[in-house]
Structures are given as structure tokens and as C-alpha cells.
């Protein structure tokens, strides 16, 4: 968190009411009162109210953050209502952030939920500094990098992610992050003249450093370090690059209505991009091009759930964070955490 917000969080950690303590009882038992107090003092921005963004929003509102702002300039479409459960079917044509606010608010009346129908591209540096956490999706690469750079400089927790069909990713930049972890240790004690082994739980402090998104994307795969890592690096990292390039070129994600032409374009981009990156073409299966349309709800639930979990861990400063990518792909059949750019 930035220094101003850190002071704000520490100042307000005592402000949990009896009603909140009752509502968050199970969570407090899980991660502790101090962690809940930090959540209760945090202000979150979710930019990009897609199906994945709805999952992030749901989990964070239920966790008990102080406030959550939904930011998106787009309008609700029929496809959006299939994956974004916060946007009612009768809101097609209306602003998606405003249409999603009411259902998000109903999830937890103790959290202040607001909407902003502006374009994230028009937001200045000052806008982002009012938040402790910024989570961005549905953006062009240059905007993701711009917003991340602002957050990196201002010590704001930054998360980016998206879902394309059956693929999804998350990127995290927590700058220099301090957290505690519960560690169980066994030791021998003497009791009644006999030695016994007992288990103790200790809280161990850790520090972890993160890199910016630009550093994590601009990798020299011909270098000794990364050439040796290429074989075990998830192909979804490169699929993410291909989709970012597609969005930059066309100003949109691949559309089901243009499936045939978009599949050809995706493969064209793949061939050119992998050649430029000095990556063998067989690293990415051509099969991906037919599986990146729309947002598949179960994938949104998985990736959005991981992002929300990581935000909660980062704000509460408990447990090791994912540093720095999480990828999910049905081609790989699993979710994986990768550290790229360090």
C-alpha cells in the first residue's frame, strides 16, 4: 500500500463494529482480526467489469473491504450477461459498471460499492492514488503498463488479469511486499522426567520483491537464463502476448461473430510474434486460436477467485503471494504459477 493509505489503514484498524465482527466471524477465525481490520480499511478499484471482474468483485465485497469502485465505459451486451452475473439481462445497452453496481452492493451492505462509467484510458495518475488496490482487465497492453507504472511508483498494490475463452491469466506487482506466515515446528520438551515432542506455531516474517509488468513482458528468450526456462514455461504466457497484440491491433477481443477471420488473424500474429521473440512455433499449439472467444464462466470463477484470493492475502499481509503470474489453460489442464522477469 502507498504510505498515505498505509497510515489510513493503521489509523482505522480499530473500526470494526459488533455487527461486522458477527458478519465476518468465520473469516476472522480463518485469517485473524488484524487481517480483517486491514481489509476493512482498504479501498479497491476493479477496472473492467467483465465475467472475471464480477468474480473478483463478488469475493472482495464478501470479504469486507471498505470500498470497491467498478470502472468501465462499455455497455452491457448479450454475451456479457452470460458471464457477468452482476449485470441483469434487462440492462443490455446500459453502462456495464452502473448496471453491475446494485447486485454487487446487495452482496454486502457494509461495503461501499460505487460505479464509474468513464474510460480507464482517460484517468490521470491522481485518480489511481485514491486506491490501495488496483485490479485491471479488458485493457490494451499500453494501458496495463501505464497503470502498473503509476501503481509501482506510488506503492499501490497492482493486479492485472483477463479471461479469453478457456484461457486466463493474472499478473501481480506488490513492489516490496512484507508478510507473515504461520510455520509449524516440532521440538522436544521434558515433562515428568520424560521427553515429549510437541508442535508449536510460529509467525515468521518474510519480504518479497516484485517487478513491473513491462519487465515481465519484455523478456530476452535467447538469454542463457530464459532459454533454459522456455521448455517448462506455460504456453499460456505466449498466448497472453498474442491476445495482447490482437487487442492492440484491433481495439477489441476476438469475437464469436467473426470467428473465422479472427482465428486466421490470431495464427498470423502468433507466427510473427513468436518469430520476433525467437520462440519455436511449436511452443504454442495452433489449437488455441479456436478457444479464445467470449468468457467461459468456470474459467472466470477460477481466475477471478485466484485474483481475489491474492488481493486478500496482499492486503492482510498474511501468507506467501503468487509472484508474479498465474496461468490457467484447458490445453494444459491446470493452473500454474510462474515467476518471469526477475
Which pLDDT value is given to residue 4?
A: 43
- Whether omega for the bond prior to residue 324 falls within 30 degrees of 0, making it cis, is yes
Which pLDDT value is given to residue 246?
A: 97
**Do residues 21 and 28 lie in contact, with contact meaning Cβ atoms separated by under 8 Å?**
yes
- Of the chain, the end-to-end C-alpha distance in Å amounts to 21
3-state secondary structure of 340: coil
Helix extents (H) in the chain: 3-11, 18-23, 25-31, 33-40, 51-63, 78-83, 96-107, 125-128, 141-154, 213-217, 224-227, 235-250, 259-276, 297-316
Paired residues of 181 in beta bridges: 204
Please give the Cα distance from 226 to 250 (Å, whole number): 30
pLDDT tens for the 342 residues of the chain, in order: 444 444 344 444 456 777 777 777 777 777 777 888 899 999 999 999 999 999 999 999 999 999 999 999 999 998 888 889 999 999 999 999 999 999 999 999 999 999 999 999 999 999 999 999 999 999 999 999 999 999 999 999 999 999 999 999 999 999 999 998 888 877 777 776 777 777 777 888 999 999 999 999 999 999 999 999 999 999 999 999 999 999 999 999 999 999 999 999 999 999 999 999 999 999 999 999 999 999 999 999 999 999 999 999 999 998 899 999 999 998 877 899 999 998
Q: What is the DSSP letter of 321?
A: P
**Burial level of 25, CB count in 10 A (0-12/13-18/19+)?**
exposed
Please give the Cα distance from 155 to 5 (Å, whole number): 10
Please give the Cα distance from 337 to 322 (Å, whole number): 7
Please give the Cα distance from 110 to 112 (Å, whole number): 7
Domains and CATH numbers, the chain: 3-176+297-338 (3.40.50.720), 177-209 (no CATH), 213-290 (no CATH)
3 state SS for 230-264: HHHCCHHHHHHHHHHHHHHHHCCCCCHHHHHHHHH
CA 316 to chain centre: 16
Q: Which of 274, 284, 285, 288 is nearest to 221 (CA)?
A: 274
Amino acid at each position: 500500500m502507498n504510505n498515505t493509505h498505509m497510515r489510513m489503514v493503521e489509523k482505522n484498524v480499530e473500526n470494526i463494529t459488533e455487527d461486522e465482527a458477527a458478519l465476518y466471524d468465520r473469516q476472522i477465525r480463518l485469517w485473524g482480526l488484524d487481517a480483517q481490520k486491514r481489509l476493512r480499511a482498504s479501498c479497491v478499484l476493479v477496472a473492467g467489469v467483465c465475467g472475471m471482474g464480477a468474480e473478483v468483485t463478488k469475493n472482495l465485497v464478501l470479504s469486507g473491504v471498505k470500498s470497491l469502485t467498478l470502472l468501465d465505459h462499455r455497455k452491457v451486451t448479450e454475451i456479457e450477461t452470460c458471464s457477468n452475473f452482476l449485470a441483469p439481462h434487462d440492462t443490455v445497452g446500459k453502462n456495464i459498471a452502473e448496471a453491475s453496481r446494485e447486485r454487487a452492493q446487495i452482496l454486502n451492505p457494509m461495503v461501499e460499492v460505487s460505479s464509474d462509467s468513464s474510460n480507464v484510458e482517460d484517468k490521470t495518475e491522481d485518480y489511481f492514488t485514491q486506491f490501495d488496490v488496483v485490479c485491471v482487465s479488458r485493457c490494451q497492453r499500453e494501458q496495463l503498463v501505464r497503470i502498473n507504472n503509476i501503481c509501482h511508483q506510488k506503492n499501490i498494490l497492482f493486479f492485472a488479469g483477463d479471461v479469453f475463452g478457456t484461457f486466463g491469466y493474472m499478473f501481480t506487482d506488490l513492489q516490496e511486499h512484507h508478510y507473515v506466515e504461520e510455520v509449524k515446528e516440532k521440538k522436544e520438551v521434558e515433562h515428568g522426567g520424560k521427553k515429549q515432542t510437541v508442535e508449536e506455531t510460529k509467525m515468521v516474517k518474510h519480504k518479497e520483491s516484485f517487478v513491473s509488468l513491462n519487465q515481465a513482458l519484455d523478456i530476452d528468450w535467447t538469454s542463457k537464463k530464459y532459454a533454459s526456462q522456455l521448455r517448462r514455461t506455460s504456453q499460456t504466457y505466449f498466448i497472453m502476448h498474442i491476445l495482447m497484440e490482437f487487442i492492440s491491433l484491433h481495439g477489441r477481443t476476438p469475437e464469436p461473430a467473426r470467428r473465422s477471420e479472427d482465428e486466421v488473424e490470431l495464427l498470423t500474429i502468433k507466427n510473427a510474434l513468436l518469430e520476433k521473440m525467437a520462440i519455436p512455433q511449436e511452443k504454442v499449439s495452433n489449437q488455441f486460436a479456436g478457444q479464445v472467444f467470449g468468457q467461459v464462466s468456470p474459467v472466470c470463477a477460477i481466475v477471478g477467485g485466484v485474483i481475489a484470493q491474492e488481493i486478500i492475502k496482499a492486503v492482510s499481509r498474511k501468507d506467501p503471494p503468487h509472484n508474479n503470474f498465474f496461468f490457467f489453460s484447458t490445453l494444459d489442464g491446470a493452473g500454474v504459477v510462474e515467476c518471469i522477469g526477475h
